[in-house]
């Protein structure tokens, strides 16, 4: 139970700052109806409870599966087995990721079903699965990360030139959303399991990072390839009507519950089935280990249901409402400041960020101070959300104006910094674009886009997850460059 308390405390720190901002805005700039605020508070409570239970389930159930399978894959020493199993695991774990389902729901809603939820989830998962397969082969064959990223983002650049702008925003957002609370621990566990068997300890440490970054590029490739092959042309969409508030606090939650239970069951059952099949014929882990993993999976199920019900029935609609209301205020300064504050508190309270900053300080033997990393990430992500809102308000600014120079700089830096920093930096994109970014911040920018007459809700309302995910990639590699310069001076 002490682990559950720890998870509860972590999630509380992530969600409560957003609740405080909403309540403050409700008393000052935005007149939030009482019924809507009540549903938001109920939804926030479910999000806190659900996310805490879910993260405990991931630690106890999902991560051990990743570790066990990673080690077995590496021991097989057969590339074709690693490729096939890696692809299959990548697909089923991505299909179960809550953040991609939330994004896909938003896309389906804005496009009025022109891009169906299940279509986007499957396409993104196929792209991720392909790159996960290649990422595991890279670890075994010791291919340099910067070469893999140069090739994958080079292909993405070429596909971007022939893809409609809406697909570009959805593709890059999918990249950030698919590397969420479920997929990231699983992939890190698999990468660690595979790289652990290397004799060179330094190479093993370096190769345990980078898989998340590689797989996230697969999500972009999947969406852009779908756009190119289907030849559907430009998507169109409009704002989501959240102003039919209704007359009940509880009914929306009751309505969502059976739908979410069905969706979560479909998402998690393949993972359990694969584990049991592997356990029977390959893993042969102790019965106590199997029981613990299945116990963890039950926590994952309950937590995921509570989290998604809270998100859909009460949490996200207030994000949209606040964004829409602030977008209608003549002084646009407020909408930008609130965006910065949301980005700041999201990263400030993200537990994984604290782990990441400590990890970097340890790896650099204190050369790069964790406080410096933390400040850089907080300001960077706050600025990323603010810049996303500025892009909505100023029609001349397009998403690629941020992404092209940003990822170009990221690739250039990858040839200038230590290999370990490249892996950590590209993996950290998934850390920054966590559940709060995929839910509240995305719905906030959707609301701002709906309220802005010059904005396209589909093109301008999406893209915030992409910009947020890109920020730590640049920030951490710049810190890696500073570490490299410092360490050279120390040697002299």
* Closest C-alpha to 98, from 69, 64, 132, 62: 62
pLDDT for residue 242: 46
Residue with tokens 């790289």: 195
Residues of the chain with pLDDT under 50: 242
pTM for the full model? Answer: 0.88
Contact 63, 83 (CB under 8 A): no
pLDDT, tens digit, for every residue of 294-338?
999 999 999 999 999 999 998 999 999 999 999 999 899 999 999
Give the dihedral sign, CA 30/469/113/391.
Answer: positive
Torsion over CA of 376, 100, 17 and 2, rounded to 10 degrees?
Answer: -100
Give 368's DSSP letter. S
pLDDT for residue 206: 74
Task: Say how far apart CA 386 and CA 471 lie, in whole Å.
Answer: 12
**Per-residue CA distances from 371 to 72, 192, 408 (Å):** 38, 26, 27
Contact 356, 431 (CB under 8 A): yes
Task: Say how far apart CA 479 and CA 67 lie, in whole Å.
Answer: 30
pLDDT, tens digit, for every residue of 406-425?
999 999 999 999 888 898 88
Give 220's DSSP letter. H
* Structure tokens belonging to residue 59: 């630690």
* Structure tokens belonging to residue 490: 């120390």
* Structure tokens belonging to residue 90: 């990548």
């Amino acid at each position: 139970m002490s682990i559950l308390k720890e998870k509860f405390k972590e999630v509380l720190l992530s969600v409560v700052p957003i609740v405080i901002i909403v309540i403050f805005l409700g008393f000052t700039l935005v007149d939030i109806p009482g019924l809507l605020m009540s549903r938001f508070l109920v939804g926030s409570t479910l999000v806190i409870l659900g996310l805490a239970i879910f993260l405990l389930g991931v630690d106890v159930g999902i991560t051990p599966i990743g570790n066990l399978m990673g080690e077995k894959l590496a021991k097989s020493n057969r590339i074709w087995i690693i490729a096939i199993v890696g692809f299959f695991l990548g697909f089923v774990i991505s299909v179960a990721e809550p953040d991609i389902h939330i994004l896909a729901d938003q896309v389906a809603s804005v496009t009025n079903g022109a891009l169906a939820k299940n279509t986007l989830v499957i396409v993104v998962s196929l792209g991720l699965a392909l790159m996960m397969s290649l990422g595991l082969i890279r670890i075994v064959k010791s291919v340099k990360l910067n070469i893999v990223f140069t090739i994958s983002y080079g292909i993405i650049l070429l596909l971007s030139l022939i893809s409609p702008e809406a697909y570009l925003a959805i593709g890059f957002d999918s990249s950030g959303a698919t590397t969420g609370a479920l997929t990231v621990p699983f992939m890190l566990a698999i990468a660690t399991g595979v790289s652990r068997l290397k004799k060179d300890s330094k190479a093993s440490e370096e190769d345990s990072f980078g898989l998340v970054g590689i797989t996230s590029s697969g999500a972009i490739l999947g969406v852009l390839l779908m756009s190119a092959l289907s030849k559907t042309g430009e998507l169109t969409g409009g704002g989501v009507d959240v102003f039919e508030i209704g007359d009940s606090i509880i009914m929306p939650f009751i309505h969502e519950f059976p739908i979410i239970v069905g969706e979560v069951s479909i998402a998690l059952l393949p993972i359990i089935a694969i584990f049991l099949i592997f356990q029977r014929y390959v893993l042969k882990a102790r019965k106590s280990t199997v029981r613990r993993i299945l116990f963890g999976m039950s926590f994952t199920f309950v937590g995921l249901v509570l989290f998604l019900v809270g998100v859909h029935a009460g949490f996200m609609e207030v994000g949209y409402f606040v964004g829409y209301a602030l977008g209608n205020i003549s002084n646009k300064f407020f909408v930008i400041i609130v965006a910065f504050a949301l980005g700041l508190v999201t990263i400030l309270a993200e537990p994984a960020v604290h782990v990441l900053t400590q990890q970097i300080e340890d790896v650099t033997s204190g050369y790069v101070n964790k406080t410096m990393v933390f400040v850089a990430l907080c300001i960077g992500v706050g600025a990323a959300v603010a810049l996303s809102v500025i892009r909505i308000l100023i029609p001349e600014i397009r998403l690629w104006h941020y992404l092209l120079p940003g990822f170009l700089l990221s690739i250039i830096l990858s040839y200038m910094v230590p290999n370990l920093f490249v892996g950590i930096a590209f993996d950290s994109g998934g850390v920054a674009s966590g559940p709060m970014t995929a839910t509240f911040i995305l719905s906030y920018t959707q609301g701002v886009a709906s309220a802005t007459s010059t904005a396209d809700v589909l093109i301008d309302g999406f893209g915030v997850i992409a910009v947020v995910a890109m920020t730590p990639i640049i920030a951490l590699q710049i810190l890696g460059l500073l570490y490299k310069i410092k360490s050279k001076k120390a040697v002299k």
